[in-house]
Structure 1
Amino acid sequence: MENNHFVYMLRCNDDTLYTGYTNHLKSRIEKHSAGKGAKYTRGRGPFTLVYCQSYDSKTKAMQMEYKIKKMSRVEKEAWIANHQGGMLDEYTKKLRT
């Protein structure tokens, strides 16, 4: 079964970070970009996808989203730096298709 539960982080135009969960990454980012995503992201675009990870269950993804949201800004920046790797490239390619 394909992993289709995603936790992602967006860097907003004002350099703030937004963390979210979705089961369809491409359409969720498109919603954020169109101003129809989370209230927090409205008016803060354009966005850069700086982190994403897939999970095999909604529960696992939601737990990770919660963990990341509880982090400080410094911890989030370190998380991004330490977890970027190839997965971001892989999902960025998927977003373009």
Structure 2
Amino acid sequence: MPWFLYLLECADGSVYTGIAIDVAARFAQHASGTGARYTRSRKPVQVLAQFEFADRARASSAEYWVKRLTPREKRALAAG
């Protein structure tokens, strides 16, 4: 089953990074306030990008590196 790394644009202009099997369902959780603590105070506006990985381990590894990027770098990654 594939896993996805996803980037969310938040209302304050920040970019949240996470992993999930179903990005749409996870976005709905973030939007309703039942997702990550970070997105409870910074409401997500949209999914900027999602990238598919073969398994959770690879998605987690990618998440580790992407979380170290600046918001500008994350936006550039999302833009391609």
Does TM-score exceed 0.5, indicating one fold?
A: yes
Aligned residue for 1:5?
A: 3
- The one of 32, 37, 40 equivalent to 1:39 is 37
- 1:40-79 equivalences in 2 (<5 Å): 40-79=38-77
Where has structure 1 moved over 6 Å in runs of 4 or more?
Answer: none
- Would you say the 8 A contact 2:9–2:48 is kept in 1? yes
Consecutive unaligned residues in structure 1, runs of 5 or more: 83-97
Aligned residue for 1:81?
A: 79
Consecutive unaligned residues in structure 2, runs of 5 or more: none
- Would you say the 8 A contact 1:4–1:24 is kept in 2? no
State the 1:73 CA deviation. 2.3
Specify the code of the residue in structure 1 equivalent to 2:39: T
Residues 52-61 or 72-81, more deviating: 72-81
Q: Identity of counterpart residues, as a percentage?
A: 32
Structure 2 counterpart SS, 1:40: helix
Inter-partner Cα distance in structure 2 for 1:15 and 1:66: 21
Inter-partner Cα distance in structure 2 for 1:29 and 1:78: 21
C-alpha RMSD of the superposition = 1.3
Q: Give the greater-gyration-radius structure (CA).
A: 1
Instruction: Give the alignment's TM-score, normalised by structure 2.
Output: 0.89
- Would you say the 8 A contact 2:8–2:44 is kept in 1? no
Inter-partner Cα distance in structure 2 for 1:35 and 1:70: 24
